[in-house]
Amino acid sequence: MRQLENYILGHWVKGDGEGQTLYHAVNGDAIASASTRGLDLASVLHFARQKGNPALRKMSFQERGLMLRALALHLREHLHKFYPISYQTGATKADSWVDIEGGIGNLFAYASLRKKFPDQPYCLDGEYHSLSKSNSFMGHHLLIPKEGVAIHINAYNFPVWGMLEKIAVNLLAGVPAIVKPATVTSFLTEAVVREIDASGILPEGALQLICGSANDLLDYVDGQDIITFTGSAKTGQMLKSHARILSENVPFTMEADSLNSIVLGEDVDPSMPEWDLFIREVRKEMISKCGQKCTAIRRIFVPENKIEDVQLALKKTLSETIIGNPLNETVRMGSLAGMLQRNELKEQVQKLLASSQIIYGSMDSVAVIDADAEKGAFMSPLLLFNQQPMCSEAVHEVEAFGPVSTLMPYNSLEEAIALVKLGKGSLVSSIVTNDSKIATDYAIGAGTYHGRILILNRSCGKENTGHGSPLPLLVHGGPGRAGGGEEMGGIRGVKHYMQRVAIQGSPDMITAISKVYQPGASGITGGLHPFKKYFEELEVGDQILTEKRYITKADIDAFAELSGDHFYAHLAETDFNGTMFEKQVAHGYFIMSAAAGLFVDSYEKNPVLLNYGIDELRFTKPVYVDDSIQVRFTCKEKIPQSKKEPSDIDKGIVKWLVEILDKENEITAIATILTMVAKLKQE
């Protein structure tokens, strides 16, 4: 029997002794063992901090994002190696797709997120704050990669997705990771990490893997480290209260299993598309991954007058589920991850049966195909019914981690909201309704107890990603029992691995540190017009002050005719008494257009390929007839772009600060425009 290896200190090594035996979930055969005994875990942390962290911190967001993309492409080429191993965890092809390719999808998502960040290792956060009358003193916030390591303690149900969804975030942030998967399915995590190692894409020390017990790993963490945990609330609380974590104030993000719910709106009846969506969603969440999902539906709330119809529909659809060997293409539900998980599941169901009853399925038998129900960790889907959910505690406190859900009635939307809150905090809840008022009242009423709410109806029925699918750019987590933390969430998640530090100083100094031009900083003037410079030649701070242009009545009248904008303030004959204006005022968009005519060098071809858009356009002061305008035009920030196709032009995005000044040298409008600028060296 093979012993899994740990990937630490840049090498694959075995732990001492035989370790924990790992079993094939479908046939019960022993397939591997795992051990971390004898490993110097303090050295593992030290290696990550001394090797992986400096290497990642030197890379820019752009480089780290491209690294994630390369890794995703590499893993996608080796899918054929991962699926056969995934079947040994009891997962069907559909289950494996979510775990494996869903995890790789997270890498792609965070690779694309690099476009939201600058081409440097750190970034600004939020808006600047002027701290003096003349703007010679200002404040801002920087986000800098932490100098520690991300420690991911993951659950057994998603051995690939659980790892990739987390490391995608910390690697983009510039922080290395130590992954400790749940031992029972760690053989699949090991296979993926072997391919990551073989790719040579990640810097040394950026990723390490521990297959087996965490032993004394947490004894050596410090305040620069970040810990994430996915699993039971009980285990999470135990880890969170570790003396070292408390004494060093180590950030600890917990994503705990919770009593997630789905609510059938009072407006929905069997004749509506929402009815079928509801039944399908419940069935899918009960059988997907054999119910072993932290986001699975555990509580089903239905209007009391529809309980019988829902019960019949769920029984029918569950009876059509084919259970057995995941390698059989007709199978729709595989097995639990192992016998231990099945035994624990039965114990939890027994607790629920003190106040609920089984209305579909069996605790003791299940019909399977192409497998042995006793040798494999198979379990029948169990639909329970609880008549009095307001008076029952267990159904809101006990989670049976498998294909188990409890059906319950409610009498009003207010009662449904009160019932879902009895779960004391959940990762997700869904409401199926075609009534916007019901949806609004539910989202606002139940939102404080949930990390995510899905509103499901006919409009999104075909394309929705489902109750149980956390998405890379949305937060995954929940309050209370669900752990009180957040994972993923796009830019929000990246910030979790970075230190936010307030910086104060002159605009020139903040510009120099941030590499983003700050209002009031000195500009770089003289020489070529900025539009004549290639991407590499441009410097943040390159600036021109244009000639002046006088705004005439003819200009304003002509723009009104051309645009069709005859708002009263733009008409000379308007009686301006009681208005905000003194006399005929120029259109804001005309002023912006006229400004472009001042700063655009348009007489010959130049490196500027196109205008990419306008951000943060504000009109701060009216421009009247016979006023003049001029533009202070400054290179604010540069962001390189990668080619989508080999034939693409090498280019980058340049952000320009446009300050439109009036004859009193006061700002009348301000905006950030974006242009695509060609690179001098075309590859």
Of 406, 399, 447, 392, the closest CA to residue 425 belongs to 447
List, in sequence order, every beta strand (DSSP E) within 465-512.
Answer: 475-478, 485-488, 498-505
DSSP letter string over 145-203? E-SS-EEEE--SS-TTHHHHHHHHHHHHHT--EEEE--GGGHHHHHHHHHHHHHHT-SP
Please identify which residue in the block is written with the tokens 């020139």: 508
Measured in whole angstroms, the distance separating CA 612 from the mean position of its chain's CA atoms is 26
Backbone angles phi, psi at 666, to 5 degrees: -100, 150
H helix or E strand, kind and range, residue 639? strand 628-640
Alpha helices in 251-384 (DSSP H): 273-287, 307-319, 339-352
Which listed residue (165, 190, 255, 266) is catalytic? 255
Backbone angles phi, psi at 75, to 5 degrees: -65, -35
Q: Is 294 a catalytic residue?
A: yes
Tokens encoding 75: 């893993």
Measured in whole angstroms, the distance separating CA 34 from the mean position of its chain's CA atoms is 31
Q: Are 256 and 482 in contact (CB under 8 A)?
A: yes
CA distance 1 to 14: 13
Handedness of CA 334, 336, 342, 345 (dihedral sign): negative
Q: Is 391 a catalytic residue?
A: no
Backbone angles phi, psi at 456, to 5 degrees: -110, 125
CA distance 631 to 34: 67
Non-local (6+) Cβ contacts of 65 within 8 A are 110, 111, 112, 113, 114, 115, 117, 172
CA distance 358 to 352: 10
Which listed residue (274, 294, 399, 486) is catalytic? 294
Measured in whole angstroms, the distance separating CA 540 from the mean position of its chain's CA atoms is 31
What's the alpha-carbon Rg for the chain, to the nearest Å? 30
Three-class SS state of 330:
coil
Non-local (6+) Cβ contacts of 473 within 8 A are 109, 113, 488, 489, 490
- What positions carry a catalytic annotation? 255, 294
